[in-house]
Amino acid sequence: MSVSALRLREVTKRYPGGVEALRGVSVEIAAGERVAVVGPSGSGKTTMLTVLGTLERATAGHVEVAGQDVVAASDGGLAGLRAHKLGFVFQGFHLQDALTALDNVANGMLYTGAPARVRREAARTALERVGLAHRLAHRPARLSGGERQRVAIARAIAKRPVIVLADEPTGNLDSKSGHEVIALLHELAADGATLVLITHDQSIAETFPRRIVMSDGEIAGDERR
């Protein structure tokens, strides 16, 4: 029996004003699985990712991340979970313009308590793994969109997280660099990390062994290849 990395049971998320973004969602994602989440805008994809990423708490239901019950966890407990076990990749990259690629990646481990020397070493390794060994000292402004997203991916994986959550990571990229980024994510996840990725792009979704289709805050389909 495989261990589950992420587990939602009857999860509801209601925002102030009465909007229900998630309506009784139950899903289980095993450790090492690669999952694409698809669905139209407003279907609750991003909300599900923020709940899985412990950035927001569910209004009702049970949430388990990396084997830990997060419903009862404190702010500090959740932050610790994010610092050590979770890696995020955003559509907007969110790199700091004043810092080099190396420092941006090293900052990904800022809240693990690791000393700067260790973080920089891990950052160097991560940048090599995403194929940017020659761009360590570059600032984001001097990198292409695809390179920036690869720096952001290096930042997410430098600490060797158990789970990587990506929200439309190709949304700001042309289709060629988009597919390169997806290929990179597949390759990195092959090491054993669980990958959950939101996308609009059907051709990207098709590269994933499992696809969850969201609609109106509910799971409308769960396909495996």
Binding flag, residue 113, other proteins (CB under 8 A): yes
Rounded Cα gap, residues 41 and 143, in angstroms: 30
> Which of 60, 71, 98, 137 is close enough to bind other proteins by CB under 8 A?
98
Q: Which of 133, 125, 132, 124 is nearest to 149 (CA)?
A: 132
Instruction: Give dist(CA 143, CA 195) in Å, integer.
Output: 25
- Binders in 137-196 for other proteins, by CB under 8 A: 167, 171-172
Rounded to a whole number, what is the distance in angstroms from the first to the last CA of the chain? 19
If one asks whether residue 57 binds other proteins (CB under 8 A), the answer comes out as: no
- Least CB distance to other proteins at residue 113 (A): 3
Instruction: Note whether 15 binds other proteins by CB under 8 A.
Output: no
With contact defined as beta carbons under 8 Å apart, do 41 and 213 qualify?
no
With CB under 8 A as the rule, give the number of residues binding other proteins: 36
Residue ranges in 186-225 that form contacts with other proteins under rule CB under 8 A: none
Contact status, residue 31 vs residue 4, Cβ threshold 8 Å: yes
Which residues contact other proteins (rule: CB under 8 A)? 46, 49-50, 53, 55-56, 75-76, 79-86, 88, 90-92, 94, 96-99, 107-108, 110-113, 115-116, 167, 171-172
